[in-house]
């Protein structure tokens, strides 16, 4: 039974989770009335602003068309128009809930103090941000438009000083507007936005002929200043008092910052979507970037008027309902406005999708805007309009998360969105050009909508979104339309659509969709369709049985892309990658990052690499293929940490890693006997085996340098004599194969790594056994090779050892051509392209066309920041291994020692080889680093602790019983 709410409730009193039906109805009706009033003000203002903005766009397009100068303006303006909404969304999500609670509980003086502190912090931050943007304007513009003409980029740099200061003004305007909305003032702040397009159009008409697109920047700057002046005047009238204070000890700052940084990061990621579209648009024909922006402005008219206005109007009231834990009213408000926005948006989707050509022709086809420009813009508008409905739903639901204070959810969804947008842009942009980029945007909005709705339902329970809102039915009754509805609430159950019926209809719908896709695919490419059909079954099985997926990676991965034709051309890597990346959004990835914090640095490194997709010399398809395989390193490590939770699974997984290594070593030895599957060393004349790795012995050496330590660990875990003998024989086989690569750097690095491993073994006895056994094994190998007349160490005496086989010349060439001002570097594979062009020679021939040094390669391709992130990844691996060592069990310490020694070996080999990024090799190193942090070690440590406690208890029981026994003996 509910209790009455008290306005004088203190914070220590419990919040109520439910209210009576009558109280909910009263509150909901009051909230809806206030929201509707605010909605009218915001919607009318937004409509007027969008209409004036369209008139401004008509003036601009008629004056300048869609030539390179407009591309330059849009590239330059994209930076402030990306940062400003990002900051505005973070402020809206964090400030309004806290400020509303303070106004309802505190005094105006407290609110004024909070407002003044936030304003001062914001002004300082905006000034610093503007200076940073101006300093780095050249690399920023180059990163956005690397494929555009040089004159376009130069003009964009010239426009930057006049457009970049807009970011501070837009952010201040958004902040002031948020505060006025929290005070219930929606009209003036909304209508003040009309000054920006009006001023811009006026400046273009007055000075467009003489100053060109520069007047667009000047007009926008003046308009933002005028808008800020109007908002400040309205704030003064609303008794919002500014004080020259900066109190960083205010208790309200902590919840604001806590809610702001996830929203800020989410905004940064989500606002990267326009930048991603611009980058991919630069790969298309001239004018595509301008067409994208024109279509976005048209698409923004209904979106800004409808769901943007609803989201801003409903947020303060949703926040108030969430603050008192009134989830019933919260769900009712959310459901009502989702229905309203959904109905309106669906109607607009049909109109704007099929009427795109008419709309664009009427509005834009004037002056220099040709019929070809109209057709290009209309196709893009149609592609964007397809996603109008999921965009609206996602926008409103995201405001619900902000009201609940769950902004971290938005951060995760935004990370997914930017990756999905980039992937869809790469595929559909290559397929359909500008329309494909727009369609890709709509497609990822559908994915985002589904994720948000499912997550919200998991957090607050059933949303009943398919139930027709009673408030909307009452509204229709007032207009005479309500007779179409029954007097009671209409649900799907009233129509006979029970859960069982809906489940059956869903299955039938999916079957029909799959059948249609199969029919279309068979008509296009029958063989490819059959492969997809069988591959989808395998992918579904791997999604269901995750341990089978990691076993498949351990057994098959090394053969993919090798010299064995059986494993090539069958899309095996795609079949493993797709379920692996999808599972990242299903498994508790956060737990894996907590268990193994080093993975966070590698994730940031891979995201940093993604930012260079627009400047890389390789094609987008090649870029995403390479980048996705590198992301597999991170994803598989996460799965290994979470899925391996028993000893049986751990040992079977290690055996699955060793099994292909046995075949590869035997294949290499067989190649040595027949002088195939390897290369002849020109300096010594001896045959160097490479087994399945084509003609690259260093790749085989790097692979074996990871598998040899894990084989040593497996030997120490065995208990039966025959098993130990078999494991030792396997170790001898792997070490012999490693020696026959004649790779000096690998042999030296493995030796150092094994010495480090021995030093970290958990007992002196074990160290002695390892040292003696290791010396014996190395001696046996040297004796066998000597008897067979195989000089394994002969290459250490070559004259090229001082230049590391000519690698120092390659490194000097990269350093001479590196520019530290390139923040993102020169892009993926740029070092290979440069060395191919330079043809660096030594001893009368070309040395190589690859850097053969992961550190210099990372520096050149991904800049100083990329090198720092990669270095932090390696350093953090070592740090967490050492930190974990102290409080671990005996067997766990053994694996930690193996992993640390392997890490040292790989870091050393990184100075002469970049094969760590070879998908068939490097992934085993990341997996080995993840094995000491799996869930299994928690249960193993708990069992060991329980066993020690039992032994201690038995000892105490024995001490207690001992005096009694002595007394009995004395009596006898």
Whether the pLDDT of residue 636 is over 70: the answer is yes
How much is the pLDDT for 526?
58
SS3 845: strand
Least confident of 201-210, 327-336, 839-848: 839-848
User: Which residues lie below 8 Å from residue 583, measured CB to CB, with a gap of 6+?
Assistant: 543, 546, 549, 635, 639
pLDDT in tens, 817-831: 888 878 888 888 888
Three-class DSSP category at 688: strand
- Please give the average per-residue pLDDT across 200-217, as a whole number: 84
Per the structure block, which two tokens stand in for 435?
């329309």
End-to-end CA distance of the chain: 73
Rounded to whole angstroms, how far apart are CA atoms 78 and 296?
12
Mean pLDDT check: name the lowest of 100-104, 308-312, 442-446, 650-654. Answer: 308-312
For residue 22, pLDDT beyond 60:
no
| CA quadruple 514, 517, 520, 522: dihedral sign | negative
For helices 253-270 and 407-432, the axis angle rounded to 10 degrees is 10
Pure H helices in 271-406: 272-281, 288-303, 309-323, 327-354, 356-364, 371-386, 388-404
Average pLDDT value for residue range 912-939: 90
The band of 370, judged by pLDDT with boundaries at 50, 70 and 90, is confident
> Which residues neighbour 708 within 8 Å (Cβ) at sequence distance 6 or greater?
731, 734, 735, 738, 750
CA distance 555 to 171: 53
pLDDT band at 531 (very low <50, low <70, confident <90, very high): low
| pLDDT tier for residue 833 given thresholds of 50, 70 and 90 | confident
Q: Which of 668, 674, 669, 673 is nearest to 694 (CA)?
A: 668
412 vs 219, more confident: 219
| Least confident window among 12-26, 353-367, 413-427, 714-728 | 12-26
Structure-block tokens of residue 952? 């201690």
CB 291 within 8 A of CB 380: yes
Inform me whether the pLDDT recorded for 845 exceeds 70.
no
CA–CA distance, 304 with 54 (Å, rounded to integer): 13
3-state secondary structure of 679: strand
pLDDT score of 875 = 94
**pLDDT, tens digit (0-9, with 9 covering 90-100), for 478-499:** 555 444 444 444 444 444 455 5
Side-chain half-sphere exposure of 775, counting CA atoms within 13 A: 5
- What HEC string does 288-322 produce? HHHHHHHHHHHHHHHHHHHHHHHHHHHHHHHHHHH
Element (H, E) at 725: helix 721-739
Instruction: Please list, in sequence order, all residues whose beta carbon lies within 8 angstroms of the beta carbon of residue 256, skipping any fewer than 6 positions away.
Output: 94, 95, 98, 118
What does the radius of gyration of the chain's CA atoms come to, in whole angstroms? Answer: 33
Phi, psi of 846 (to 5 degrees): -75, 130
**Residues 669-692, buried b or exposed e (16+ Cβ, 10 A)?**
eebbeeeebbeeeeeeebbbbbbb
**String of DSSP letters for 526-567:** HHHHHHHHHHHHHHHHHHH-HHHHHHHHHHHGGGTTSS-GGG
Tens digit of each residue's pLDDT (9 = 90 or more) over 70-92: 878 878 887 787 777 777 777 77
Average pLDDT over residues 778-792: 64
Which candidate, 153, 155, 133, 154, places its Cα nearest to that of 145? 153
Task: Give the per-residue pLDDT at 950.
Answer: 66
- Contact (CB, 8 A) for 929 and 638: no
- Give the pLDDT confidence score for residue 927 in this predicted structure: 95
Question: Mind listing the pLDDT tens digit for each residue in 164-183?
Answer: 888 888 888 888 877 777 77
Q: Of the segments 148-157, 573-582, 675-684, 762-771, which one has the largest average pLDDT value?
A: 573-582
Which pLDDT score, from 0 to 100, does residue 713 have? 92
**Share above pLDDT 70 across residues of the chain, in percent, rounded to a whole number:** 73
The SS3 call for residue 842 is strand
Angle (nearest 5°) at CA 804 between 799 and 805 = 65
CB < 8 Å & 24+ apart, contacts of 791-794: 791/684, 791/686, 792/739, 792/740, 792/742, 792/747, 793/747, 794/684, 794/686, 794/742
pLDDT at 51: 72
Alpha carbon distance 734, 528 (integer Å): 39
Distance between CA atoms of 326 and 910, rounded to whole angstroms?
58
Highest mean pLDDT among 251-265, 554-568, 917-931, 932-946: 917-931
pLDDT band at 500 (very low <50, low <70, confident <90, very high): low
Model pLDDT, residue 18: 33
Supply 205's token pair: 């008409």
pTM tops 0.75, yes or no: no
Residue 602's pLDDT band (cuts 50, 70, 90):
very high
CA pair distance 51, 341, nearest whole angstrom: 20
Q: What is the mean pLDDT of the chain?
A: 77
DSSP H helix total and E strand total for the chain: 38, 4
Confidence of residue 521 (pLDDT cuts 50, 70, 90): low
CB-based burial label for 769 (10 Å; 0-12, 13-18, 19+):
middle
- pLDDT at res. 897: 93
Q: What average pLDDT score do residues 131-149 get?
A: 79
Tokens of 11: 């914070």
In this prediction, residue 477 carries a pLDDT of 60
Q: Residue 275 above 60 pLDDT?
A: yes
Q: Tell me the pairing of strands 678-680 and 687-689.
A: antiparallel
**DSSP-assigned states of every residue in 153-170:** HHHHHHHHHHHTTHHHHH
Q: For the chain, give percent helix, strand, coil, nearest 5.
A: 80, 0, 20
Whole-angstrom distance, CA of residue 858 vs CA of residue 826: 10
Highest mean pLDDT among 599-603, 677-681, 943-947: 599-603
* The pLDDT of residue 641: 94
pLDDT band at residue 215 under the 50/70/90 scheme: confident
Within 13 A of 35's CA, how many CA atoms are on the CB side? 26
User: Do residues 564 and 557 make contact, with C-beta atoms less than 8 angstroms apart?
Assistant: no
Share of the chain above pLDDT 90, in %: 16
Three-class DSSP category at 365: coil
DSSP annotation of 677 reads S
Q: How confident is the model at residue 13 (pLDDT cuts 50, 70, 90)?
A: very low
The answer, yes or no, to whether residue 12 has pLDDT greater than 50, is no
Mean pLDDT of 448-461: 83
């Amino acid at each position: 039974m509910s209790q009455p709410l008290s306005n004088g409730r203190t914070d220590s009193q419990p919040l109520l989770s439910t209210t009576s039906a009558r109280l909910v109805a009263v509150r909901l009706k009051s909230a809806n009335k206030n929201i509707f009033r605010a909605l009218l003000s915001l919607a009318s203002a937004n409509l007027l602003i969008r209409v004036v903005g369209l008139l401004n766009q008509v003036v601009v397009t008629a004056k300048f068309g869609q030539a390179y100068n407009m591309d330059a303006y849009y590239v330059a303006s994209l930076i402030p128009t990306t940062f400003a909404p990002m900051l505005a969304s973070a402020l809206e999500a964090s400030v309004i809930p806290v400020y509303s609670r303070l106004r309802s509980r505190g005094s105006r003086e407290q609110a004024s103090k909070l407002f003044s502190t936030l304003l001062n912090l914001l002004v300082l931050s905006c000034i610093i941000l503007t200076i940073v943007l101006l300093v780095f304007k050249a690399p920023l513009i180059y990163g956005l438009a690397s494929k555009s003409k040089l004159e376009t980029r130069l003009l964009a740099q010239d426009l930057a000083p006049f457009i970049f200061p807009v970011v501070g003004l837009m952010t201040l305007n958004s902040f002031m507007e948020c505060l006025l909305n929290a005070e219930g003032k929606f009209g003036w702040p909304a209508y003040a936005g009309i000054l920006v397009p009006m001023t811009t159009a006026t400046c273009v008409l007055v000075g467009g002929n003489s100053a060109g697109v520069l007047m667009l920047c000047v007009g926008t700057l003046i308009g933002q200043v005028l808008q800020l002046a109007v908002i400040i005047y309205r704030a003064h009238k609303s008794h919002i008092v500014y004080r020259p204070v900066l109190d960083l000890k205010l208790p309200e700052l902590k919840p604001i910052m806590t809610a702001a940084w996830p929203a800020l990061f989410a905004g940064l990621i989500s606002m990267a979507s326009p930048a991603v579209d611009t980058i991919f648009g630069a790969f298309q024909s001239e004018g595509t970037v301008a067409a994208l922006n024109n279509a976005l402005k048209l698409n923004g008219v209904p979106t800004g008027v409808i769901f943007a206005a609803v989201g801003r109007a409903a947020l303060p009231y949703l926040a108030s309902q969430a603050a008192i834990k009134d989830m019933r009213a919260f769900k009712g408000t959310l459901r009502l406005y989702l229905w309203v926005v959904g109905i309106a948006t669906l109607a607009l989707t049909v109109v704007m999708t099929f009427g795109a050509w008419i709309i664009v022709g009427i509005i834009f086809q004037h002056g220099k805007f040709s019929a070809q420009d109209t057709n290009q813009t209309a196709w893009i508008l149609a592609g964007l309009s397809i996603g109008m409905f999921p965009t609206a739903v996602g926008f409103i639901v995201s405001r619900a998360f902000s009201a609940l204070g769950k902004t971290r959810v938005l951060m995760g969804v935004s990370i997914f969105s930017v990756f999905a947008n980039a992937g869809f842009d790469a595929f559909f942009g290559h397929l359909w050009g500008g329309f494909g980029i727009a369609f890709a945007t709509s497609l990822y909005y559908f994915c985002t909508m589904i994720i948000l709705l499912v997550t919200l339902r998991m957090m607050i329970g059933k949303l009943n979104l398919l139930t027709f809102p009673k408030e909307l039915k009452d509204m229709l009754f007032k207009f005479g339309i309500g007779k179409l509805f029954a007097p009671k609430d209409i649900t799907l159950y009233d129509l006979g659509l029970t859960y069982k019926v809906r489940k059956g209809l869903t299955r039938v719908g999916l079957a029909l969709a799959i059948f249609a896709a199969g029919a279309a695919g068979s008509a296009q490419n029958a063989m490819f369709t059959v492969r997809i059909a069988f591959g989808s079954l395998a992918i579904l099985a791997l999604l269901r049985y995750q341990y089978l997926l990691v076993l498949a990676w351990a057994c098959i991965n090394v053969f993919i892309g090798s010299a064995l034709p059986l494993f090539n051309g069958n899309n095996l890597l795609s079949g493993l990658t797709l379920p692996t990346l999808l599972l990242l959004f299903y498994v508790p990835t956060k737990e894996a990052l907590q268990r193994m914090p080093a993975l966070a640095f590698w994730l940031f490194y891979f995201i940093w690499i993604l930012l260079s997709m627009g400047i890389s010399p390789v094609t987008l398809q090649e870029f995403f293929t390479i980048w996705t395989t590198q992301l597999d390193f991170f994803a598989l490590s996460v799965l290994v940490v979470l899925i391996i939770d028993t000893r049986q699974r751990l040992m079977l997984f290690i055996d699955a890693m060793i099994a292909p290594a046995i075949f590869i070593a035997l294949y290499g030895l067989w190649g040595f006997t027949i002088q195939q599957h390897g290369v002849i060393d020109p300096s010594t004349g001896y045959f160097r085996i490479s087994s399945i790795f084509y003609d690259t012995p260093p790749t085989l050496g790097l692979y074996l340098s990871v598998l040899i330590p894990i084989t040593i660990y497996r030997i120490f875990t065995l208990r039966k004599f025959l098993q130990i003998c078999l494991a030792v024989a396997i170790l001898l086989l792997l070490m012999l194969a490693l020696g026959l690569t004649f790779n000096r750097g690998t042999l030296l690095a493995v030796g150092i790594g094994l010495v480090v491993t021995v030093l970290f073994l958990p007992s002196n006895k074990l160290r002695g056994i390892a040292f003696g056994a290791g010396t014996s094994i190395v001696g046996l190998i040297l004796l066998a090779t000597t008897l067979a007349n195989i000089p394994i160490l002969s290459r250490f005496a070559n004259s090229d050892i001082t230049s590391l086989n000519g690698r120092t010349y390659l490194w000097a060439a990269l350093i001479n051509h590196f520019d530290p001002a390139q923040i993102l570097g020169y892009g993926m594979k740029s070092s290979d392209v440069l060395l191919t062009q330079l043809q660096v020679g030594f001893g009368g021939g070309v040395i190589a066309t690859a850097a053969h040094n992961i550190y210099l390669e990372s520096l050149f391709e991904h800049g100083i920041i990329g090198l720092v992130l990669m270095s932090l990844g390696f350093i953090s691996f070592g740090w967490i291994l050492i930190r974990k060592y102290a409080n671990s069990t005996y067997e766990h310490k053994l694996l930690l020692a193996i992993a640390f020694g392997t890490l040292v070996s790989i870091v050393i080999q990184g100075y002469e080889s970049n094969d760590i990024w070879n998908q068939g090799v490097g992934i085993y190193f990341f997996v080995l680093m993840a094995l000491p942090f799996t869930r299994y070690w928690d249960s193993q440590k708990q069992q060991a602790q329980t066993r020690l406690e039992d032994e201690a208890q038995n000892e105490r029981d024995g001490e207690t019983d001992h005096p009694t026994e002595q007394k009995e003996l004395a009596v006898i």
